[in-house]
Amino acid sequence: MSKPFRVWEDVYAIGGPEISHPADCCVYLVDAGDLVLIDCGVGESTDQLIGNIVGLGFAPEKLRAVIVTHAHIDHIGALSRLQQDFGTEVVAHELESRAIESGKGVGAEFYGVSYHPCRVDLRLEKTEESLILGRHEFKTIHIPGHTPGSIAVFVDIAGKRVLFGQDVHGPYYQQWGADPYQARESLQKLVDLGADILCEGHFGIYQPASEVERYILVYLHQLEGLR
């Protein structure tokens, strides 16, 4: 296992398959004065995620929100615990909220873990929304494809655009409820953002901007054969 690390000014990787638990998605922390997480892992490593936050010198009591990119168990497992322990608000797209609140369709059975449903405090409904949390503005973009209510998040910090784009790689299997046609448009939206740093959901960090574009285009090109 490797240690949590700073990605860029105010942005940290605090969890992921190499950092917290093999089944965790990559978990990112943004220090906005208040603390904001992008996703929170499969739920088996919550103590360690909290320990990693403390280890970086932050108080977990300041965890104001988790912005959920989509309702798969490896991205949402710690939500209920964080909500209970710290009053952390759960922010998710409306189309993912039912799964988060009911536990149906989150895929916990595939991971052999149990999911504890929790309340979604803020439901995103628009194609793009802006959330001011502490000193940073988080912009969310609806990117349906991998799931109907998938979102990406970006923040402009100290001259760089940091994009949290989880599960850019898919998978985009229709039998699992994905829509590869929508995914194609969504990935193009991500390319058009021109991000300098991509914080991806399972494979870590890509930079500079040319590498971000190259990475997303690999998956976009795989979808271009669709008719």
Binding footprint of Zn ion on the chain (CB under 5 A): 25, 72, 167, 201
CB of 29 to Zn ion, least distance (A): 18
Cβ-based nearer residue to Zn ion, 16 or 136: 16
CB of 202 to Zn ion, least distance (A): 6
Residue number of the CB closest to Zn ion reads: 72
CB of 171 to Zn ion, least distance (A): 8
Cβ-based nearer residue to Zn ion, 107 or 117: 107
CB of 25 to Zn ion, least distance (A): 5
Cβ-based nearer residue to Zn ion, 32 or 46: 46
Cβ-based nearer residue to Zn ion, 31 or 39: 39
Sequence-distant (6+) residues with CB within 8 A of 214 are none
Q: Which of 52, 150, 72 is nearest to 113 (CA)?
A: 72
CB of 46 to Zn ion, least distance (A): 17
Cβ-based nearer residue to Zn ion, 75 or 136: 75
